[in-house]
Amino acid sequence: MTSEANPPANEPRRDGRAPHDLRPISIQRGFTRTAPGSVLIRAGETLVLCTASVENSLPPWMRDQTRGWVTAEYNMLPGSTAPRKSRERAGKVDGRTTEIQRLIGRSLRSIVNLEALGPRMITVDCDVLQADGGTRTLSITGGFIALVDAVRSLPAGATDPARPVFNSSVAAVSLGLVAGRLLLDLDYSEDSRAEVDSNIVMTGAGKFVEVQGTAEGRPFTRAQLDAQLELATQGVGKLRQLQRDALGADWPAGC
């Protein structure tokens, strides 16, 4: 007899998905009119608003440089979780928020030619409206689309067409071992009891930007790590296609 804690490998998950399935994903571009890049992205019950804003100036530490900069900020709104999450004020950002927004910024910069972007800064803000697992990975996936739209908003001649701003796309997915099964795109009910919890960021060319993997209990094997990387590659491939479908004719050349 199979216990509830150790379901058979082919048993559907709580939401009916197979182990290798992503949650249903929807992407709405142009969600707000004030930011040149604005995307509302949803995966299951996780909902994130990604906006990208352009400033024709650079941070003080980049003074007199000719290359540009891409940075990110991340926040979970008070009503995104139950119980309510306290609002983060200036100077009182918690360690988790700092770590996640640095991850998002690193991931987006990995596929941007900063020299081609020119002396300007784009800030991608990722605000979690509703959290049910995978907020950081969904922020990266949606943030890329918002970033593309922000670059598209630049006036003609602002960048050199001979040097594309984007050298690839980028997306991210969560996965982990739950009750001995390797599952893709964890929701909170799965993430909260995972024996291994991983977040993988990859470019559209199949290169790894970041691999975050943590054993919550028993250490995992090299074979289990390889299996996670293989499943993540499949998942990011599906996400890339969803990004491409959302952008349509605006998909950057060479990505």
Buried b (16+ CB within 10 A) or exposed e, 25-39: bebebeeeeebbbbb
Element (H, E) at 144: helix 135-152
Q: Is the pLDDT of residue 214 over 90?
A: yes
Q: Taking the complete model, does pTM exceed 0.75, yes or no? A: yes
- Residue 2's pLDDT band (boundaries 50, 70, 90)? very low
Rounded CA separation 115/117 (Å): 5
Task: Please give the domain boundaries of the chain with CATH numbers for all domains.
Answer: 25-83+94-249 (3.30.230.70)
Look at residue 11 in the predicted model and tell me its pLDDT: 74
The DSSP call for residue 118 is -
Q: Is the pLDDT of residue 5 over 70?
A: no
| pLDDT tens readout for residues 113-153 | 999 999 999 999 999 999 999 999 999 999 999 999 999 99
Q: Is the pLDDT of residue 27 over 90?
A: yes
